[in-house]
Structure 1
Amino acid sequence: MTDTTHPATGTPTDAVVTEDAVPGTRSRSTLSELAADAPPTAPRPRRRAQSARVRSVLKHVLLIAFGLVMLYPLLWMLASSFKPSALIFREPGLIPSAVDLGNYTDGWNALTHPFGHYLLNSAIVVLGSVLGNLVSCSLAAYAFARLQFRGRGVWFAIMLMSIMLPIHVVIVPQYVLFSSLEWINTFLPLIVPKLLATDAFFIFLMVQFFRGIPKELDEAARLDGCGHGRIYLRIMMPLALPALATTAIFTFIWTWNDFFSQLIFLTKPDMYTVPIALRTFVDATGQSSWGPMFAMSIVSLIPVFLVFLFGQKYLVKGIATTGIK
């Protein structure tokens, strides 16, 4: 680039000397001409932000669409609970042409006892199972995480192997044992095993959480004269609230929805729980009360929905802090 003077005004101008296409000659071009011929610059930050916003909107639209597809059966059951039984399968849409609130009153009083009786039976089983798992699984997890005893690794491996054992393998020996104890048609076969730390998944969950608590807290407590009992109650349990909440929520949902075990051990109508009571709405001859059954199914989902709604933050925190990926 060389400095030249305008021939008329005498002012200096910037010019660049370039090689001409013909050998031995040169031509001059100003910087403005070269800038016009330069390639376009990179996209502006505003364009990048707009493209990122568009991608985010598309992602959320796809997630919402997928969520609606997953929720459609539940929404259809909710809509069918307000339809007359004759229109449930004739109108597959979600908006009923006729509303029948009698499904809820008929379903509540359709069985031998009011449906609240079966809700109470399920509540008793669920409450006993939740308390049993919280106490027994936390004690077993504290032993595996903090105590030193012979064969700890072997017993821990056996405990983990029991997770892969299906319930259908042990249900017959359990039935024989509980029948000899005359526990059939009582809630004891469904509650007592929870007091013996039979759910290995929750033991493993709490072991992972306890291992994340610094052992310096235990050593400081021992210097103050605390034994394992006080360490467990005053240090471990308050710090393990997320893991305990996760155990309680999963135990509630799994026990409330359990059908197989309750069908095996509870054969009298007075002892039926919600899953078995809902099954009685389905007639073997095909004359089923679909409207009342859908209505009572919605009623039975309300406790599960409330527990998950209010315990969701503890559930997420408990899983995130136990090392399970």
Structure 2
Amino acid sequence: MTTNLETLPAADKKSAGAGKPTNHRKPRESRGTLAFSRAQRTKSLVKHAILILAGGLMIYPLLWMVVSSLRPNELIFREPGLWLESLEMSNYTSGWSALTHPFGHYMINSAVVVIGSILGNLISCSMAAYAFARLQFTGKKLFFGIMLLTIMLPFHVIIVPQYILFSQIGWVNTFWPLIVPKLLATDAFFVFLMVQFIRGIPKELDEAARIDGAGHPRIFLRVILPLMVPALATTTIFTFIWTWNDFFGALIYLTDPDMFTVPVALRAFVDSQSATSWGSLFAMSIVSLLPVFLVFLFGQRFLIKGIATTGIK
């Protein structure tokens, strides 16, 4: 006996068809969503392609200099590609002793200037920043504004009066003209960076220390300074890189070959009177880049944290 579903009541039809499988289809994405997804993928691919191309263009000169330092001098410009048939290490040995002193002598000179500049900036800029961020005195906003204006003042504008002053003092051909200005908080960028950092430190910490009988020197040394490690690390890294690579200041004040720093010593490899040993120049340029590379490699974590916590972009 067969049962006709059409003659059954609605409830019976439902129970009779309950055992039959049903097809549940997932909702299809709209064409607009698919088009938007494709556009986003295309945009991302184009953006990454441009970044890769730009990165390649920026790093190519450095790679070419590394490869050229491993080539014989006569093949550097004859074979300008990045392919090396053989490694030539003689450029490093000859370049190290090509000048009046071994190249390590000039690296030591640069290290002396760098260490003095770092200590000067850390001490003077942190004290000036604490004064602007925490102390109240007449003309505070005016002096702070003048300090910020000095950031826009090129170094080349003040080099002539500075040279006259240091020449009269007798400091030409010494490291003092490169170090002493750092002891006077002349790098306004670092003062501004530290001011922004100190303003982010709660003043309740100062008030708690003041209740315990601490004055400004003790608050600065015991409370503020330990919390300024990211800003101090950022100042150290930037000062190291800028001072190590400073060519103009060292060229003006240091005329004695015994006092040359690394950038001025590299300039001595280029001789207009005779053939320039490009291989030795490139080799010593790579050697001079190593300290900067290592400092940035191991200090980039503090650098990023210091910039992020000061709100500077």
Q: TM-score, normalised by structure 1?
A: 0.85
Task: Please report how far the alpha carbon of residue 58 of structure 1 lies from its aligned counterpart in structure 2 after TM superposition.
Answer: 5.7
CA contact (8 A) 1:84 1:98 kept: no
Structural mapping, 1:268-287, within 5 Å: 268-285=256-273, 287=275
Q: What count of residue pairs does the alignment treat as equivalent?
A: 296
Residue of structure 2 equivalent to 1:221: 209
Residue ranges of structure 2 left out of the alignment (5+ in a row):
11-23
C-alpha displacement of 1:122 = 0.2
Q: Any idea what SS the aligned residue of 2:156 has?
A: helix
Change (3 A) 1:143 1:40: closer
Deviation at 1:251, TM superposition (A): 0.5
Partner Cα distance (1:118, 1:323) in 2? 37
After superposing the two structures, state which structure 1 stretch, 90-99 or 106-115, moved more.
90-99
The structure that has the greater radius of gyration is: 1
Counterpart AA for 2:86: A
Equivalent position amino acid for 2:6 in 1: G
**Paired position in structure 2 for 1:90:** 78
Say which structure, 1 or 2, has more relative contact order (CA 8 Å, 6+ apart). Answer: 2
Q: Distance in 2 between matches of 1:12 and 1:158?
A: 95
Q: Are 1:183 and 2:171 counterparts?
A: yes
In 1: Cα distance, 2:9 partner to 2:239 partner: 84
Is contact 1:262-1:273 (8 Å) kept?
Answer: yes
Question: Secondary structure of 2:6's match?
Answer: coil
Which of 127, 140, 146 matches 1:152? 140
Shift of 1:169: 1.3
SS of alignment partner, residue 217 of structure 2: helix
Partners of 1:203 and 1:211 lie apart in 2 by 12
Match of 2:117 among 129, 140, 144: 129
Q: Say if 2:293 is the partner of 1:305.
A: yes
Q: Distance in 2 between matches of 1:210 and 1:139?
A: 11
Question: How far 1:69 sits from its partner (Å)?
Answer: 1.5
Q: Which has the higher strand share?
A: 1
2:70 & 2:49 partners in 1: Cα distance? 30
Indicate if the aligned counterparts of 1:132 and 1:194 stay in contact, CA closer than 8 A.
Answer: yes
Query: Is 1:263 paired with 2:259?
Result: no
Identity %: 66
Deviation at 1:96, TM superposition (A): 1.9
How far apart, CA to CA, are the structure 1 residues paired with 2:106 and 2:56? 31
Segments of 4+ moved more than 3 angstroms: 11-14, 43-62
Identify if the C-alpha distance between structure 1 residues 312 and 11 changes in structure 2 by more than 3 Å, giving closer, same or farther: farther
Counterpart residue number, 2:54: 66
Cα distance in 2, alignment partners of residues 194 and 72 from structure 1: 35
In 2, the alpha carbon distance for the partners of 1:41 and 1:191 equals 67
Query: Residue 114 of structure 1: which of 80, 96, 102 is its match?
Result: 102
> Is 1:100 matched with 2:88?
yes
Describe the shift of the 1:12–1:141 C-alpha distance in structure 2 as closer, same or farther (beyond 3 A).
Answer: farther
C-alpha offsets along residues 4-58 of structure 1, whole Å, 9 cap, x if unaligned?
xxxx7526799xxxxxxxxxxxxxxxxxxxx99xx96437999998986776566
Mapped to 1, the partners of 2:5 and 2:65 lie a distance apart of 88
Alignment pair present for 1:172 and 2:156: no
Residue identity opposite 1:245 in structure 2: A
Larger helix share, 1 or 2: 2
Stretch moving more, 225-234 or 132-141: 225-234
